[in-house]
Homo-oligomer: A and B are copies of this chain.
């Protein structure tokens, strides 16, 4: 409603965005098809595609055979028009990856981080080093980079990062990185970037209203409303993990009691299993994997608890957001879901209203943990699409 005023020039920008979006998301298309799909006249499509080709964003991609008539020329986004970089800042690693414009992976650099070296300075240094290395490896100059998307473990607001679990309380990461590069930066919560990846390339393709959950050691969610991330007043929406599911329940690392995260997050589940006498490897991921593979009475009990609480949480999501699809993501979500999905569905049905539940499908995610970096890389691309292919002028940009 409150989009800026409209000038006749914005029409062109909007139509460029329309056309480019179709080309990006729905593969190669001829001008003719573009006219049908976008509703624009053929003349306008010609003009718009002409500009896009002149700008190098779009290229011709061969003909399609005709049976009587001039053959269609296919157009597609030029993968080499720009490089985008996605960064995944996790609690134990920093992963930097470079992609072409169509998000094919060009280069990867990974740093392991010890929790005690997890200062913002160290992280920033790793990001910049990874960026340099990836650019060298993919043969791109600074000017070729459309932007760098960074998925972080916490909320991002005005370029400041608030990550309770890593002890960041208002870290000016954007400014710190700005000292090392002029490339446009896009900071966002890792749950959101993973959700974005799943939405474009995974289980959320073509869905307009979705909730993508991210269950790892902690628990988050990314809400998509009408194809656009729902952020709330300061970008902090979707903090699903700290929904209370039990009055005076288990203590959560956030300090509260009874948070969902304490019941279905990897740490909570493994701790629970151990506290009941189960033995599993020390490493959290190995522990959860072993638990999910076990068929003892104790394992079954613990997993039943997980399914119940996950069902409650998902039921609430369905009631509150009325999504078309709920996607179970994150490494722990994938592990737990692979065994518990039917149980979780059943529990969710018990706790959601009938109609919204019937309209929502509950599915496993299709991408692995690398979706955080991939999704981060979609951020500059999304901006490019929204701008209709015009490269950003101001180099500063955040998710806030």
Binding site for B on A (CB under 8 A): 1-2, 4-8, 10-11, 14-15, 18, 21, 38-40, 155, 157, 162, 164, 208-209, 221, 223, 225-228, 230-240, 242-247, 254, 256, 258, 308-309, 312, 315-317, 319-324, 350-356, 359-360, 386
B322 and A320 contact, CB distance less than 8 A: no
Complex CA distance for A237 and B258, rounded to whole angstroms: 25
B242 and A319 contact, CB distance less than 8 A: yes
- Nearest first, the 3 A-B pairs at minimum CB distance are A232-B322, A5-B39, A239-B319
> A315 contacts which chain B residues (CB < 8 A)?
243-244
Complex CA distance for A243 and B348, rounded to whole angstroms: 11
> A10 contacts which chain B residues (CB < 8 A)?
6
A382 to chain B, nearest CB (A): 10
Query: Contacts A39-B4, A247-B246, A353-B164 hold; do A237 and B320 have CB atoms under 8 A apart?
Result: yes
> A226 contacts which chain B residues (CB < 8 A)?
1-2
B320 and A228 contact, CB distance less than 8 A: no
Query: Contacts A11-B6, A312-B247 hold; do A227 and B353 have CB atoms under 8 A apart?
Result: no
A343 to chain B, nearest CB (A): 15
Complex CA distance for A342 and B359, rounded to whole angstroms: 38
Query: Contacts A353-B164, A353-B242 hold; do A321 and B6 have CB atoms under 8 A apart?
Result: no
Q: List 24 A-B contacts (CB under 8 A).
A: A1-B227, A1-B228, A5-B15, A6-B10, A7-B11, A8-B11, A11-B11, A155-B355, A164-B353, A209-B232, A230-B230, A232-B322, A233-B322, A233-B360, A234-B355, A236-B322, A237-B322, A238-B320, A239-B319, A243-B315, A243-B319, A245-B245, A247-B309, A256-B351
> A164 contacts which chain B residues (CB < 8 A)?
353-354
A312 and B244 contact, CB distance less than 8 A: yes
Complex CA distance for A245 and B309, rounded to whole angstroms: 11
> A350 contacts which chain B residues (CB < 8 A)?
256
A309 to chain B, nearest CB (A): 8
B227 and A208 contact, CB distance less than 8 A: no
Which of the residues B14, B208, B230, B247 comes within 8 Å of A245, measured between beta carbons?
B247
A265 to chain B, nearest CB (A): 15
A395 to chain B, nearest CB (A): 24
> A323 contacts which chain B residues (CB < 8 A)?
232-233
B320 and A240 contact, CB distance less than 8 A: yes
B321 and A40 contact, CB distance less than 8 A: no
B246 and A246 contact, CB distance less than 8 A: yes
